[in-house]
Structure 1
Amino acid sequence: MAGSLCKYLRFMGYDCRSANDLPPGNPREDTDILKIAGEEKRIILTQDAELARRGEGNAIRLVSSDLAAQIRQLVQAGLIHPEIRLTRCSRCNALLQEGTSPEKPNTPIPEDIPLVYCPVCNRQYWEGTHTKNMRDNLLQMVNKK
C-alpha cells in the first residue's frame, strides 16, 4: 500500500512489512493484513479509509499519497524519529550485519568505509553519497511546509 514509505521506514530502522509482499489478487487481503497486524503487534499504515476503520486503534489512515507528507504525518503523531540508521534491509526487512556479504565478497568499495549486509538477500549497504542524499532528502521532507 505504501511501498516507498515502507522502504524509508526500513532505512530509518523500523521493522515493517509491506502489503506489496503479500500474494496479489487476494480478495481477503485486508482481513489478512488485520490478522497479521494483530498477531505481530503491528500498526497498519494505510490510505484505505475502510481498512483504517477496521483496524481501530491499530491502524493509521495516511492522509496523503505523497511520501514527504506521510513521513511528516508519522513524525507529528510521534510514531517515528526521522533518522537514517541502516540497520534493516530496505528490500526484505532483515536486520543487517557488519561486514561483507559472503555472496558478494568482492564488492568494490573503499576499504575505510564500514560495510553492512543483509544475511537474507545479501544486499550490501554502506555510508556513501547515496546515504547522504537520503539523509538530506529526509530532512527536506520533514521540514517541508
Structure 2
Amino acid sequence: MPPRPPAEPRFAADAMLGRLARWLRVLGWDTFFDATVHDPELVRRADAEDRVLLTRDRHLLRALAPRRHIEIRHDAPLAQLVQVVRVLDPPPPAELFLRCTVCNGVLSAPVDLDQARPLLPLGLRHDPPTPVRACPDCGRLYWPGSHVRRMRDALVRSLPGWLDAAGREGSAGANR
C-alpha cells in the first residue's frame, strides 16, 4: 500500500539510511533507526507502529512486503530527504532540531545554564549559547552552533520554499 501523507510523519529507516534518519530527526520527525535490527524485525516494527519504512533494498520490499514504504532511489542523504518530502508532501515542521539526531529522543525544554555549563566544551563555558537542550534518553547536549546555520542552509537549498516557516532562530542543533 502506498504511504499516506501523515500529519506527523513517523519513519523506520533500514541500515543503509542512517544519514537520512538524522536529517529526518533534524526536521523533528520520529525516525526509528538501528543498524543492528534485521529486516524482518524492522518490517514488523514499522507495520506495528504505523511507520513508513524507508529502504533502498528491493529484495526487502518484495520478500517482506511492508504495508507502508518508500523505496529510496538516491545515494546522497539530502536527495533522499527531498524524495521523502516529495512523495509524502507533509507540511513543513514549525521548528527544527527538536529531536536527538543520534537516538531520536525528544529534546527537553531549555536547561538551566548553570547545570549545562560544566558539560559544555571549554570554549563555550564562559559565554554559553542559548538555548541549551538535553536529550533525556542519551544525555547529549544541543545548542545553536554554527553547524545549525549550515544544516538549515542545506535544507533551504535542497527544499526551496518548503521550509519558509520552519527553523526560526532559537532552534538548538546537535553539538555533542
**TM-score, structure 1 as length reference:** 0.81
SS of the counterpart of 2:31? coil
Provide the residue aligned with 2:55 in structure 1. Answer: 46
* 1:140 aligns to 2:140 (yes or no): no
Quote how far apart the aligned CAs of 1:82 are.
Answer: 5.7
Structural mapping, 1:1-145, within 5 Å: 1-20=16-35, 22=36, 29-53=38-62, 54-81=64-91, 85-98=96-109, 99=111, 105-106=117-118, 107=120, 108=124, 110-111=127-128, 113-143=130-160
Where structure 2 has 5 or more consecutive residues not aligned to the other structure, the ranges are 1-15, 161-176
- CA gap 1:102/1:117 in 2 versus in 1, 3 angstroms: farther
SS in structure 2 at match of 1:16: strand
Q: Which amino acid aligns with 2:130?
A: I
Q: CA deviation at 1:50?
A: 2.2
* Count of residues paired in the alignment: 137
Within 1, Cα distance between the matches of 2:83 and 2:44? 25
Select the structure that is richer in helix.
1
1:64 partner SS? coil
Report the TM-score when normalising by structure 2. 0.68
Contact 1:47 1:65 in 2 (8 A): no
Contact 2:54–2:71 (CA under 8 A) maintained in structure 1:
yes
Residue 113 of structure 2 contacts residue 128 of structure 2 at CA under 8 Å; is this kept in 1?
no
Q: Is the 8 A contact 1:30 1:51 kept in 2?
A: yes
Segments of 5+ residues of structure 1 without an aligned counterpart are: 24-28
Q: Percent identity?
A: 29
Q: Cα–Cα, structure 1 residues 38 and 78, in superposed 2: closer, same or farther, change >3 Å? A: closer
